[in-house]
Amino acid sequence: MKRIYMGMLTCGMFFMLTILIADEKGKRGDDFLMLNDNIQNEELRAELALLREEFNMERTRIQEYYNKKIEVLKEARRGEVKTIKKAFAKRREALMKKYIGKIRKNPKTKSAEPIKNTPDKMKVSPKDTKRIRKQ
């Protein structure tokens, strides 16, 4: 019983630590543009807020611009891969036509007569075996 309580206490502590750490990592933002709560000057506070909004707009514009570029590059890559696949498929078909007569065929392993079951090769069913009781 003592082990159960200790285990529950340990698990609870790990759970609480996980929650506390997750909250700290959850904060995300622009630290260099954070408004200080100690700033008493309202004009400065307003200017800093405008600066922060302008920064966020510029950052979003840059992200959108590069996302568009990334999409164009992805489409170009897909197109190039498709053309390469087509070219290699044509080359493969040419090789197959060139070596069509030289392809190795697997010899048949089955003989004309069916193999008769000999006592050595017969399968033993589990019912046929005797169980040995341990004493």
Amino acid 82: pLDDT: 97
Q: Which of 6-15, 61-70, 97-106 is predicted least confidently?
A: 97-106
* pTM strictly above 0.85: no
Contact 28, 50 (CB under 8 A): no
Decide if 25 is inside a domain: yes
Mean pLDDT of all residues in 80-84:
97
Decide if 22 is inside a domain: yes
Mean pLDDT of all residues in 120-131:
62
Q: Provide the residue range defining the domain that includes 50.
A: 2-39+46-102
Decide if 29 is inside a domain: yes
What is the number of structural domains in the chain? Answer: 1
Decide if 88 is inside a domain: yes
Decide if 115 is inside a domain: no
- Cα(54)–Cα(60) distance, integer angstroms: 10
Decide if 127 is inside a domain: no
Confidence band (pLDDT; 50, 70, 90) for 8?
confident
Decide if 113 is inside a domain: no
Q: Is the predicted pLDDT of residue 72 greater than 70, yes or no?
A: yes
- Cα(127)–Cα(78) distance, integer angstroms: 61
Nearest partner of 31 among 50, 65, 55, judged by Cα: 55
List pLDDT tens digits, range 24-59: 544 455 666 666 777 788 888 888 889 989 999 999
Choose between 95 and 22: higher pLDDT.
95
Decide if 118 is inside a domain: no
Amino acid 108: pLDDT: 60
- Cα(115)–Cα(37) distance, integer angstroms: 93
